[in-house]
Amino acid sequence: MSAPVLISSTRGARVALHDLGGDGPTVLLTHANGFCGLMWAPVARNLGAVAHCWALDFRGHGDSESGPDEDYDWAGMADDVLAAVDALAPTPRLAAGHSLGGASILKAEQARPGTFERAWVYEPVTVPELALPRGGVSALGQIARTRQEVFESRQAAYDRYAARPPLQLLDPEVLRAYVDHGFRHRPDGTVTMKCPREVEAAIFENLDCSAFDRLGEVATAVTVARSPDTDPPGMAAPHIAEALPNATLESFDDLTHFGPLQDPPRIAASIAAALFGD
């Protein structure tokens, strides 16, 4: 796989764009908090006959770099989406995002209306504050801070995740992409997360609830995909679709919040339908 393209974003960040290949309209893929863009590679391969896919690493993730004064406000991730759009030619016809990635696509549309002709978002974390359980956001930050950050090897990380919830739900190729591209070697031969757990925690704790109240400004055609999960992103998805002026709600009743990482062929088919739908 070729080296990513590094592009300038705001607050001194330089974000990585990965060319995942394919023929057809340009599609931009954005990932969830703590993960990396190359986890979309299996989906992109399934889209290869109909789309040319690029995957973005948000600031603080994957091969991207954060500026010295980074605070991980969610507006910065929307800026990363817009920086990627400005760097790509032709401009992406559709952006597809998971969780933080989906929320950042919607925020990018609010910041710059008409950026995308179409969007596909899986359980975007675009939730009203009243939908959050008391202490829920801080709890997610605390969980992130307890994650094991250093492993003896990539294989050790893979074996641990493959045997434990929730990452044991991931498609094996997607999980392999995470440990291959979401970790870096340390001088002592061990590997560590490219997205430090403090960064993941800061993003959870900076959750932006303001975007929900502005969903009426997003005129682009949006497919909102959801699972039957009872956590806030899954519960909020129907309300997000209702608040958007031009949205379709799609349910994946056998998946979870990790749906795009669980069933790449079916997710790719859904994105393709959104790309070419009426």
* Tens-digit pLDDT profile for residues 24-82: 999 999 999 999 999 999 999 999 999 999 999 999 999 999 999 999 999 999 999 99
Helix or strand or coil: residue 76?
helix
**pLDDT recorded at residue 137:** 67
- Whether the pLDDT of residue 190 is over 80: the answer is yes
Helix (H) or strand (E) holding 107: helix 100-111
Over residues 247-264, the pLDDT tens digits come to 999 999 999 999 999 999
Ramachandran angles phi, psi of 37, nearest 5°:
-65, -35
Tokens of 256: 């979870």
Query: String of b and e for 205-244 (b: at least 16 CB within 10 Å)?
Result: ebbbbebbeebeebebbbbbbbbebebbbbebbebbbebb
Using pLDDT thresholds of 50, 70 and 90, give the confidence band for residue 168. Answer: very high
Give the pairing type, strands 191-193 and 183-185: antiparallel
Give the pairing type, strands 94-98 and 26-30: parallel
**pLDDT recorded at residue 160:** 97
Cβ proximity of 169 and 262 under 8 Å: yes
- Whether the pLDDT of residue 104 is over 70: the answer is yes
Over residues 1-25, the pLDDT tens digits come to 689 999 999 999 999 999 999 999 9
Using pLDDT thresholds of 50, 70 and 90, give the confidence band for residue 278. Answer: low
Over residues 120-135, the pLDDT tens digits come to 999 999 988 766 665 6
Tokens of 88: 């790509």
**pLDDT recorded at residue 130:** 67
**pLDDT recorded at residue 139:** 78
**pLDDT recorded at residue 41:** 98
Of 106, 110, 98, 73, which is closest to residue 226 (Cα–Cα)? 98
- Whether the pLDDT of residue 265 is over 90: the answer is yes
**pLDDT recorded at residue 207:** 87
**pLDDT recorded at residue 141:** 86
Over residues 197-240, the pLDDT tens digits come to 999 999 999 988 899 999 999 999 999 999 999 888 999 999 99
Cβ proximity of 182 and 36 under 8 Å: yes
- Whether the pLDDT of residue 118 is over 90: the answer is yes
Residue 33: CB atoms within 10 Å: 25
**pLDDT recorded at residue 277:** 83
Of 61, 210, 203, which is closest to residue 128 (Cα–Cα)? 210
